[in-house]
Structure 1
């Protein structure tokens, strides 16, 4: 027991447990004394327990993981060994009957290896003994592993069987039962308490049976070792060489044998990647003549000793180590030891024959020297091209004394004397004994298990992992220390900064008062400062940065203290304002907004009634009230801050007003609200509260008409097309929101108004009363429903169709297969059909009732049964929603299919729109080609059909009809303008541009021919008008314009041209001419006469009778001249001559003209040489060519 306790005390696991206990005790006892500043992280019991449990848990988890991995590898190894007991080789067929027995025995071996304490014999004991066993127990994987390598028959198995080691299975099944275990690997596994010995098949060494198969199995075996013992696959290799192989083989055979062993050792080194010691066992030493006789008197203990030599580690590992010299030296020492013991052995042996054999053993041993030395050198000699495992030592053993001995001494003598050899005689030593094995294995080889190196790659991986782990641990510790130090200093600065803020905030709080809404701007900064006092130095107490944490953060304590001060400040500054605001809301509630008054009164009373206190409702009312009364310049950020302060004031507690309740105000407000009916009060509340909940059901043309709605529809008011009817007043809004809430709201509102309005409700509403009230509320809702939809539909129009392309596009979309108009009509019919006809909410009963009503209506139409029809109408009207359906009956009929036709009226309208679209396309094609559009009555028929449709379809269809006609006409007019510009405009501009009489100051005249070509009857202007504009221009309008309106600048050119034609081409003349009467009026007294010669037509005046004279232009003279001359009393003359086709007009341009008695008359006054005279000029038409504004106003036809 003492030895076991000492062994346990040396166990690593024991000290780990002791260390954990000591660490836990230190944490528990010393932890409360550890402080960082004023903070003691391990002061609390819970904190210490958490740390202790965490450390123990990590250690236990690591130990569990390591044991689990070891157990898993051990189990996998056993399973791999156990997995294939069947022997596929033909040479092992005779063992088949024993396969099942060996499997069962291997299972038992595996069970024993998992339960027996490996390393020392099992003993009985108490609980302490079992605990020691559990703590010192090792797995098969943890024992040293050795492999036996040797040629077939080299004595590997014999040496193991007779080694004297303890095998767990031998106690239960006998020593022979261990053979064959692991046969699928073609090797024997020997499990001892000290090590695992692997006896490989001899063919693995020589590859003599099947070279490829033997080589694959050998490397597979090495791979198995590498897989399950990655760190150290083997602790050593035992190379067996039998005396018979050394002495009985030729030199060539020994060389081949040595090369095979050398190659196997090289493969062992290369495949496993480790440097492991090799122990050479020269087996069957008993085959040396005299061996049995020489060692016959050895006792059991003496037979277990080591007979051989071990090379010193320092010498064998030194550079330039001479293996053969060291071998010879050590071998000679063994030989000398044999010789030294001869006298004593010879004197003690009475038998002469045996004495001779004893005497011959040293010589036999000496004869083995050269052969064995050469063999060892061939196997282990140094090579620059391959790494060899080091030779640890050479040892001679004998497992049993069987076989024929080799007498090399007598054989040499007989060969020398040429005496016939005598056949070798087999040993006759009764009962085999084991020589020189047990101590070699148990005391020497097993104790040197640590000499084997580990896989360098495995160690490198472990070293990298360990270095990384320790580095990470050191980094974590450094980070933890750094974090604690940094957190301590930051929190210290943070606390100091918060503390420094307190006096200033206290002073600001004392100096701040809030008595009205204007003061709120001054109170907000103070409240913000108090609320954020713990947020100093950019620290958020609710979510501090990691650099402030590490278990040392003080913000939560500071925030708690700040919250207390903050709530007191809210009560002092904000609560009075809020209470006054709610009171003012009640006092100033608009008389026409009962919902507002009710909500304000309800919020006001909550401050005096804790049973009905609702902080969210109060906050909402205050938010609405504050918006219009905030000071000018109040920013959005300030509004958000105010909302946050109000929420903090009322949330989380019941707040009461600091002022007495104004009972008179409450009474007046209640009286005003009670003047409304119950239904009115409830409906205005529902309409206000349910509207947000129904927002998802908002209806507008974009949703109802589809993706093309924006291309077809617009709002006349200019509002967005996406802004339509609020969802509360839609089909889904009614059935999914309003209808579901109204019945419940009746009872709830009745209870609520008991304390809001002070109404006395002694008992709950009866079902009949509640239903009546609900229907009254619905009636108000339906009134709004119809009004909202009427307003929206009246504002809906078709898109702008001022051009032919726009009108064509709208017509195309409206008449398409997926017509937006059709979709809108269907959606609209759905929205305004509230009667539950087939509505799932009303079940099959309503559907059956509808069928019954339909049948009765049909009978009434057939038999004229007024009572039946009346009854049916009454049944329909029994539904409260029928008022909406009746109001919009026209819309529903537009999309409904009756029994006489398969298509709904809307389908016929779509067809008529399609006809308009076809017409517009045809007109567009014709007009593009310069032809007149084909005649069509499609727009007129559409307008006629529009008169039978409801709003808004009537307005839309009329718009489309007008646009179709107007756009075609507009394009036609535009084509006319373009034609006129092309056919007339260019010549016109060349002929008159900058020429007289159109440009009065110009010296260049319009030629009479060009003037006639343009303006004469049948001329360019007149001809174009008669052919192209006659039916398109309204000549009754002043000024002229196209029949469809517009085009005034263009049409005015032709209007002016017509006036010019009528003025200058009287009587449909082809050449321009002017006929006027000239009558002298007065003359300067110093003049004797003046003479006007108009191309041979002379008008003379000499203070005589003032008789008018008619002249024509051009005159008969053909000179195209007009001459005006005066003569004074002395006979001197003065005057001027004007030449050109427009000389007469140019002459009068030099006069000062004044109006006469009519438009056809003018007074022309001339002044020559400071002498003046006047004449009266009268045209033969009211269109006076000398005062004709159309001349100057005329412009050539051109595109605008």
Structure 2
């Protein structure tokens, strides 16, 4: 039943049913028991309820009682009917839309029908039936009277609990479609059942032919004549009503929108027309600028009104002239006329102003530089649309405007918009080709400078230009550069120093990742760059390349790339040097990093290996999916071969240790060597002993072994090991020298300050003399200074250890100078037998006329002189060891016998007296000394050995001893 209900009305959502024809076997219904009838009626009621609830529309119900022929007397009463009479309708059609009238109408029909039967019965008994059929006529009439009550009860039960607005009872009809040749008398059966009598048998007969009674016209005149009587589906009705409301509202809204839009576009076009007139008037009143315009900003007063007027209607290039603005669009009538003037100003005013600024930058750019090519590239794209790249031009000019007009966003936007329109629509080159006088005149100032720039920039091959440009573009596309310091890690600063910080950054373009993921994928881009720069430099106008041309371009640029790649990594590795250690603990810390987990030397080499690794030929399985061509693989392996030696130290062959592992072991020995010095009770003395042992044994220590190993290793590891050993030796030597400082102060400096400093001859103004014994003990061979030098400093001086690895002196330069000065004093004041003394000769040269005689007494050595020839006399110092010895010069006057002179006393009296005179005529081995006494003068000439001159200036006066040695 559910299935049948679902199928009923399928596809007819609006009116799923035209009606329900309910046929009931009235004979069987009446003969059924009361319980059976109630069950039957309940079933029918449920089915009708399901149909009504499922279809949700008002359905006509046609009730048809069939099997009328089974009632006793049917054959007798209707046997004489003609065909037309049999086709008539036997039943009642209830009044439409009057749910309460069916009972009255049913009763009236039944009454009229029974009345007609009864009225016709007398005639039928006399004329139409046999004598044995007469009783059946009466019986049939009585049965039909009894049927009325069943019919009424049936209808009431069927309509119970069903909404009257959902089910329309349309009529009740009686039919007999076929005859079975049998019948029953309801009254007899009922009475027999009531009194428990046996059933009366009724005759049956064979029917050869059956005919329908009251059926044909029922279908044509009633059932099929009311197809639209059924109501519409309520859900459909609600949905249709809602749709109608929506569609109606939408139509109304659309109508309002159409009217509003039409009005809006009408007003917009009207206002745009007014704006065009306003801008045109403003344009006519503008005076052209006469100033120098390098950025195009001085042309804005002319261009802005035209642009606003042209776009008052919007860009007509993007509009359909027939449907735009509901057909009201006027841009096609106004825009083209304004655009002609606008494009002419762009071509003859705006673009030349921009070109002037670009040529200013072009002339200021370095000759033959990439910067100059970049500017020329923009210039060519502006003046020739055949190779124009709008995005490149706009981006360059946007940066230029941004730098010039900072904070003026509106001005920059205006300049950008005008240039963008010019790049899209101005065809400057084509206008010149067509002989446009304005275009030719505007371009004439730039024709020669462009050719000169092209000639200059063509000196560098186009392949080098393209490669430079490719490298610049790669820096914008690829991630940050590879930093060797970052790759090595935190231990970098403990061991390495970069000679040039910039070389620590390797462009990503020149790494293995950049090679595989960028450069090798630039084949088409290389052709594009070559084509563009060839066009810029006017090398060729043909931008189509054959396969051979493409291969040559790739080969040339690949050669440049390989050369740049190799030189960059060689330079990066050569840029790393071992840092200078300030002391032994710092050197120990650095070695601990090298031989420990950090291993900065190994990491540096691994970074080099990773970025110069080769590529094996693909296997048969890999061949189908290989992304690197054979030629590209050859280039990769070519780079790898350039660094095979450098990275070979990482290779382990035949289960043998790699060179880097062997070097690490040697550095471990060096680390223990330094620890032994550092952990000794006196690191300075231990370092001094280590220096002496190494120099005396000619090597054979961990430093020497590392240096020897470094000679057998390739760059850069060999250089790093040698530098590391040198730096370690440097700190050991420095530590040794530092330890001597205490002894230097105790033995040398303290004695100098106590006995020599501040006394004559070290201080000429001092009245105190340095005792000869102290002078002798301090300066003599084997004395204080000489002993310290021989025992401690000689090993450094003779083995050229006075400078560290940084070429800075390990011993103070003033200390070294004073040691040389001490050696000169020793050589001058001590004879080969180590005795203290000097020799020199003195000769009278001249005496003033007012003096008649002079006497020079030098420690008891006399030299007399009267006017005439003087004699050269040899003198010695000291001539006596007495402390109170005197040296004096005496002059005697010619007019009287008075004597005047100059005298000095003490062990240093000779030198003091010579210092008291005025020196002149100084040569390498002679000098004159003049004494002025009592209005006269006397001049002597002193002869000395030029190599050992005890009177040399600064020999004592500039003598100082520093308290520090380093």
Query: In 1, distance between residues paired with 2:269 and 2:337?
Result: 16
1:503 is displaced (CA, Å) by 1.9
2:23 to 235, 240, 265: 240
1:493 is aligned to: 271
Match of 1:685 in 2: 465
Q: What is residue 65 of structure 2 aligned with on the other side?
A: 282
Q: Deviations over 1:796-823 (max 9, x none)?
A: 5799999999999998987787967545
Residue number in structure 2 paired with 1:222: 5
In the alignment, is residue 569 of structure 1 matched against residue 352 of structure 2?
Answer: no
C-alpha change, 1:741 and 1:595, in structure 2 (3 Å) is farther
Partner in structure 1 of residue 144 of structure 2? 365
Task: Please list the CA deviations of residues 808-846 of structure 1 after superposition, one character each: whole Å capped at 9, or x if unmatched.
Answer: 999898778796754542443576799999997666998
Cα-to-partner distance string for 1:375-402 (whole Å, 9 max, x where unaligned)? 444444x459999945332222111222
SS in 2 for 1:451: coil
Q: Given the alignment, which residue of 585, 601, 608 partners 1:828? A: 608
1:351 positional shift: 4.0
Q: Residues 452 and 899 of structure 1: is their aligned pair in 2 closer, same or farther, counting only changes over 3 Å?
A: closer
**Do the aligned residues in 1 keep the contact of 2:181 with 2:204 (CA within 8 Å)?**
yes
**Native 8 Å contact 2:499 2:577 kept in 1:** no
Q: Structure 1 residues 604, 694: closer, same or farther in 2, change over 3 A? A: closer
CA change 1:360–1:589 in 2 (3 A) is: closer
| Alpha-carbon contact 1:836-1:846 (below 8 Å) kept | no
2:180 aligned with 1:397: no
Residues in 2 aligned to 1:796 and 1:301: alpha-carbon distance in whole angstroms? 126
Closer, same or farther: CA 351–893 of 1 in aligned 2, 3 Å: closer
Q: Give the aligned partner of residue 452 of structure 1.
A: 230
Indicate if the aligned counterparts of 2:527 and 2:553 stay in contact, CA closer than 8 A: no
- The answer on 1:406 being equivalent to 2:184 is yes
How far apart are 1:619 and its partner, in Å? 7.6
What is the 5 A alignment of 1:23-422? 218-225=1-8, 230-251=13-34, 253-315=36-98, 317-318=99-100, 326-342=105-121, 345-346=124-125, 348-349=127-128, 351-354=130-133, 357-358=136-137, 361-380=140-159, 382-383=160-161, 389-407=167-185
* Equivalent residue, structure 2, for 1:876: none
Q: Quote the residue 2:212 is aligned against.
A: 434
| Maintained 8 Å contact 2:59/2:230 | yes
Q: Can you give the 5+ residue segments of structure 2 that lack an aligned partner in the other structure?
A: 433-439, 619-626, 691-700, 736-966
Cα pair distance change 1:429/1:913, threshold 3 Å: same
1:472-871 pair list within 5 angstroms: 472-508=250-286, 510-513=287-290, 516-517=292-293, 520-524=296-300, 526-535=302-311, 549=325, 552-554=328-330, 560-577=336-353, 580=356, 590=366, 593=368, 614-616=387-389, 642=415, 645=418, 648-649=421-422, 653-655=427-429, 656=432, 658=441, 660=444, 680-682=460-462, 684-695=464-475, 702=482, 709=489, 712=492, 723-725=505-507, 727=509, 736=519, 788-789=568-569, 792-793=572-573, 822-829=602-609
Q: Residue 891 of structure 1 aligns with which residue? A: 646
Equivalent residue, structure 1, for 2:860? none
Higher-RCO chain (CA-CA 8 Å, sequence separation at least 6): 2
How far is 1:236 from its partner?
Answer: 2.8
Q: Could you say if the C-alpha distance between residues 813 and 393 of structure 1 is closer, same or farther in structure 2, counting changes exceeding 3 Å?
A: farther
Native 8 Å contact 2:306 2:338 kept in 1:
yes
Residue 667 of structure 1 deviates from its aligned partner by 9.1
Q: Give 1:332 deviation, angstroms.
A: 1.0
Query: Is contact 2:294–2:354 with CA below 8 Å preserved after alignment?
Result: no
Q: CA deviation at 1:305?
A: 1.1
Of residues 263-272 and 665-674 in structure 1, the stretch that sits farther from structure 2 once superposed is 665-674
**Per-residue deviation, residues 624-644 of structure 1 (Å, max 9, x unmatched):** 999599968696875676566
Q: Distance in 2 between matches of 1:340 and 1:723?
A: 128
Post-superposition offset of 1:491: 3.4
Matches of 2:592 and 2:316 in 1, distance apart? 65
- CA deviation profile, 1:982-1027 (whole Å, cap 9, x unmatched): xxxxxxxxxxxxxxxxxxxxxxxxxxxxxxxxxxxxxxxxxxxxxx
Tell me if structure 2 keeps the 8 A contact 1:518–1:631. no
Q: Assess if the C-alpha contact under 8 Å between 2:578 and 2:724 holds in 1.
A: yes
2:466, 2:526 within 8 Å by CA — same for their partners in 1? no
> Which residue of 2 is the match for residue 67 of structure 1?
none
Partner residue in 2 for 1:468: 246
Alpha-carbon shift at residue 248 of structure 1 (Å): 3.3
| CA-CA distance at 1:434 after TM superposition | 0.7
Match of 2:751 in 1: none
**Equivalents in 1 of 2:540, 2:192: separation in Å?**
144
Please give the alpha-carbon distance, in whole angstroms, between the structure 2 residues aligned to 1:778 and 1:255. 103
Kept after mapping to 2: 8 A contact 1:222/1:271: yes
In 2, Cα distance between equivalents of 1:707 and 1:393: 102
Deviation at 1:554, TM superposition (A): 4.8
Q: 1:490 to 1:506 in 2, by over 3 A?
A: same
> Partners of 1:257 and 1:780 in 2: how far apart?
104
Report the aligned-residue RMSD. Answer: 6.7
Gaps of 5+ in 1: 1-217, 759-763, 851-878, 927-931, 971-1200
Q: CA deviation at 1:303?
A: 0.9
Residue in 2 that maps onto 1:118: none
1:905 maps to what in 2?
659
> CA-to-partner distance for each residue in 1:609-656, whole Å, 9 max, x for gaps?
x8x964449986995999599968696875676566556546662435
Q: Residue deviations 1:656-675, cap 9 Å, x none?
A: 5525479987898788779x
Distance change >3 Å, CA 428–CA 342, structure 1 → 2 = farther
Say whether the 8 Å CA contact 1:589–1:597 is kept in structure 2: yes
Given the superposition, is the C-alpha separation of residues 826 and 448 from structure 1 closer, same or farther in structure 2, using an over 3 Å criterion? same
Q: Distance in 2 between matches of 1:717 and 1:533?
A: 63
Change (3 A) 1:649 1:956: farther
Shift of 1:569: 0.9
Distance in 2, Cα, partners of 1:549 & 1:471: 24
| Residues in 2 aligned to 1:386 and 1:915: alpha-carbon distance in whole angstroms | 115
Query: 2:294 and 2:573 mapped to 1: Cα distance?
Result: 45
C-alpha distance in structure 2 between counterparts of 1:804 and 1:310, whole Å: 128
Superposed CA offset, 1:745-803 (max 9, x none): 99989998996699xxxxx99x99x999998x999888766765566556557999999
Q: Distance in 1 between matches of 2:43 and 2:74?
A: 29
The whole-number CA distance in structure 2 between the counterparts of 1:258 and 1:772 is 100
User: What's 1:10 paired with?
Assistant: none
* Counterpart Cα distance in 1 of 2:307 and 2:464: 39
SS class of match (1:282)? strand
Provide the aligned length of Structure 1 versus Structure 2: 690
1:105-143 per-residue CA deviation (whole Å, 9 max, x = no partner) reads xxxxxxxxxxxxxxxxxxxxxxxxxxxxxxxxxxxxxxx
Instruction: Please say if residues 230 and 458 of structure 1, whose CA atoms lie closer than 8 Å, have aligned partners that are also in contact.
Output: yes
Report if the CA contact (8 A) 1:670-1:757 is conserved: no
Change (3 A) 1:645 1:788: farther
Give the 3 Å change call, closer, same or farther, for CA 383–560 of structure 1 in structure 2.
same
Of the structure 1 ranges 409-418 and 553-562, higher mean CA displacement relative to structure 2 is found in 409-418
Cα shift at 1:314? 3.7
